[in-house]
Amino acid sequence: MPIETDVAVLGGGPGGYTAAVRAAQAGKKVVLIEKDKLGGTCLHRGCIPSKSLLKSAEVFAQIREASAYGIELQGTASVDWRMVLARKDRIVEQLHKGVQALMNMHNIQVIHGSGRIIGPSIFSPRSGSIAVELADGESETVVPKHVIIATGSRPRKLEGLPYDGKTIVTSDEAFGWDTLPRSVLIVGGGVIGVEWASLLSDFGTEVTIVEAAGRIVAGEDADVSAELARALIKRGVRIITGAKVDAASCRTDGDGVTLDVETNEGKVTLQAEKMLVSVGRQGNVEGIGLENTDVKTENGFIVVNRETLQTAEPHIYAIGDCIGSVQLAHAAIHEAMAAVTHLAGGRPWRSADRDIPRCIYSRPEAASIGWTEEAARAQGYKVRTAKIPFRVSGKALVHGHPEGFAKAVADAESGDLLGVHFVGPHVTELIAEVSLARLLDSSVWEVGQAVHPHPTLSEIMQELTLSLSGDVYF
């Protein structure tokens, strides 16, 4: 017999399991369908495991700098890569159990299998029922009143490269390296590429980044790109920008991988033990039965109403990476809440994409929200900016890492904050204040008047906005 339910969620990542919990809290009967493990890419192959590796790398780097804090160590510190991976696995498993407990707590039925939306049938006069192929070869049919597609994304691959999952890999396979590589060639200088470059270089790996654009993390403010590049280069990372990869030249042998790259100065041949390709992500929209519906896709992502998250079929919603907006876990969670609010009869609120915080967990960290200076000017704003270096922060000096800055972009006429950009210690924690300021449409004067504790890194936000409003100058 088919399983009848109010809401069927296809995909159990952060967006999917948040949607399931919210719907259950709204009194709906919920079925969640996941073909792999609850938690999705974020928990098992993305956010959480990468941050665990980054923390281990940070600790190793700090141990090497211990003498700067007056601490003398006996002997030489070394990396036990197996223990680094084991710590990562323990964290992932603990959180995985937490998500499973959350499903049980809210009486959400979880079906492990591959779900495919089917068209009108004996089960329902409209499309939206889901045929689920179970691991044991059996099948189930779920007949919901509403469907929420949350199938996520996967790493995009460069055509022509001989991927083998060991020497030439995406970020998915890099978590499975059983030894720490001596050298790595990273193709792609976006967020994922920069984070891997940071952690690997801190572990002592020789790293080269090859980026097609004129600068790394090209979507961020130019000052952010420049500061991150400076920090990585200082630690020995080689960065080649404006580069075109010759995929046909790529070769692997017992020593690793060789690749030719065209640059403004001519062809360069690069060699490394491993190659990590991080050139963006693509939506998981194939094989889920969209052809059996009126749901539209564009450039490989599902088209939705930007406020309600409905597709062309009003009872079918889509959220997260598969809709191609901001591909971040917290964006998917935010969209899940908006979609469930709407299907439950409420009035949804969805933040504009530019108001979703963007974080890079490298060393130093970077965090941004809103317009970059270039984008604000391109939008026709008369722009005022202020920039405060972290070297004026007592807490940053105490931390021993005063590199970086805080930068604000404001509308010169209204005083409204258009964007804020950080590079420095723990700035991924500081960006939430700016997110709240954007939500409340706070002026720079209002943020500057809020009392910030001393000594903290958060003070830099107060000094930044006071400087922008003309009260304080550095």
What residues are annotated to the active site?
454
Alpha-carbon 419 to chain mean position: 19
Locate 369 and state its tokens.
């929200």
| C-alpha span between 154 and 150 (Å, rounded) | 13
Helix 81-105 vs helix 47-64: crossing angle, to nearest 10: 140
User: What is each CA distance from 275 to 81, 160, 184, 380, 445, in whole angstroms?
Assistant: 18, 14, 6, 41, 48
Buried b vs exposed e over 18-38: b needs ≥16 C-beta within 10 Å?
bbbbbbbebebbbbbbbbebb
Q: Do 144 and 130 meet the contact criterion of CB atoms below 8 Å apart?
A: yes
Locate 86 and state its tokens.
């084991």
| C-alpha span between 124 and 118 (Å, rounded) | 10
Q: Do 360 and 197 meet the contact criterion of CB atoms below 8 Å apart?
A: no
Q: Could you identify the residue written with the tokens 């792999």?
A: 36
Amino acid in the structure at residue 178: D
Angle subtended at Cα 55 by Cα 38 and Cα 86, rounded to the nearest 5 degrees: 55
Alpha-carbon 348 to chain mean position: 24
User: What is each CA distance from 392 to 7, 449, 459, in whole angstroms?
Assistant: 53, 19, 10
Q: Do 472 and 466 meet the contact criterion of CB atoms below 8 Å apart?
A: yes
